[in-house]
Structure 1
Amino acid sequence: MNLSFLNSISSFLVTLLAILFSLSIHEFGHAFVANLNGDPTAKNLGRMTINPIKHIDAIGMLMMFIIRFGWAKPVPVNTYNFKNYKIGNITVSLAGIFMNLLSAVIFANILQHIDSQLANDILMNLVIYNIAFASFNILPLPPLDGWNLIATFLPARTIDLLNQYSRYVFIVFVIMMFTNTFSLILNPIYFTFTRLVESLIIF
């Protein structure tokens, strides 16, 4: 029996589980907080769930494994339904990041009391990928959450102008990854979030 093959399959499945959960809890956060702010659009479309099938974008998932950069189907949000536009946009923008960090904190705390190697690997990957999703999405580039947060305070004319170039962001990301620029930007954010999670390990 080829144990290295089995180990590769096991590693792939553990990684897949971590990605699917991190992706799903992130999108659930957006949908849940949007609904709290008065916009039931995502809820009505069945997106207020942690079921990954509702959130997966096939190409985005494939890219996640090929170049370690991918995406989910964006949660639809109608800001006109918000009770307060600024509060709604700020909280919805931060909701996915918050859910990822909260999940990382919970899994990191559970990890302290696990002896099983398999469970340890699963939990460690869940911590790593949740922090990674939070770190990536806080970048201030369209259509990421960091951009949506900043856009709350920009004039509509400026937002429309910058959104015209959002189609080129994917190309920028790919170039940044192959030139290692991406790591230089993302690593300090990831390090900061990791330290935050570690500081909240309480039991």
Structure 2
Amino acid sequence: MDWLRAAFAIVFTLGLFIISLLVHELGHTVAVWGMMGWDKVKVISAGSVSFFRHGKLRLGILPTWGYVLYAEDEATPEMRRIIAVAGPMASLMLAGVFSLLHIVIQAKGWSEAMYAMALANYAICGFNLIPIPPLDGWKVVETYLPSLGILLTRESRAKLYQWGTIIVVVGSCLYVAIVGPYHR
């Protein structure tokens, strides 16, 4: 019976992480929808290895990555900044909800799970504000580059995002390898 509880805990935790990624991406989506219209949202994806697809929504089984594709070329730099920051702000609000649930729920195990999810969402918020492509912090910085005389072509932007993704993944793995997954 212990294996059943462990399996449930793993599936439940993965589900909470997918929900956390989805809320982050829905923050971006709501900003696009509010400023540009629903038709400008192309794809909302949370997690990798998609197991659910419906309309514009894609959900993955692994809580590793998320994104929103929208008509970015039609957005002003100000719109792009708001859209970029909306995801981390949604994560911050969800972290607050999990923090409140941690305080309210007194059941051992569940309270700790809510605390862990609060920390995870604070981390999602902060991590995404780092100015490395393709993170949200970079998307804000990127909107200021033309005013500094730096114009990125589609090819150079794609290359920056490709290398940035490698840096983020390798850096994250190194951090976990050096510090450990449960550093306090």
Do they superpose with TM above 0.5? yes
Describe the shift of the 1:118–1:175 C-alpha distance in structure 2 as closer, same or farther (beyond 3 A).
closer
Tell me, in whole angstroms, the C-alpha distance in 2 between the residues paired with 1:114 and 1:143.
Answer: 36
Which structure's residues are more often strand, by fraction?
A: 2
Contact 2:102 2:112 in 1 (8 A): no
Question: 1:183: Cα distance to partner?
Answer: 7.7
- SS of residue in 2 equivalent to 1:159: coil
What's the counterpart of residue 71 of structure 1?
Answer: 65
1:86 aligns with 2:72: no
Pick from 159, 163, 172: which aligns with 1:164?
A: 159
TM-score of the two chains, using structure 1 as the length reference: 0.68
- Root-mean-square deviation (CA, aligned residues, Å) is 3.1
Gap runs ≥5 in structure 1? 65-69, 185-190, 192-203
Deviations 1:47-105 (A, max 9, x none): 499xx9424356xx2xx5xxxxx212x211213444xx132111100000000001111
Question: 1:32: Cα distance to partner?
Answer: 0.6
2:77 counterpart letter in structure 1 = K
TM-score of the two chains, using structure 2 as the length reference: 0.74
Question: 1:8: Cα distance to partner?
Answer: 2.7
Deviations 1:152-185 (A, max 9, x none): 111285433354232123332343234439988x
Question: 1:145: Cα distance to partner?
Answer: 0.6
1:104 aligns with 2:95: yes
1:173 aligns with 2:171: no
Gap runs ≥5 in structure 2? none
The aligned length equals 168
Pick from 5, 8, 11: which aligns with 1:13?
A: 11
Contact 1:89 1:152 in 2 (8 A): yes
Question: 1:36: Cα distance to partner?
Answer: 1.1
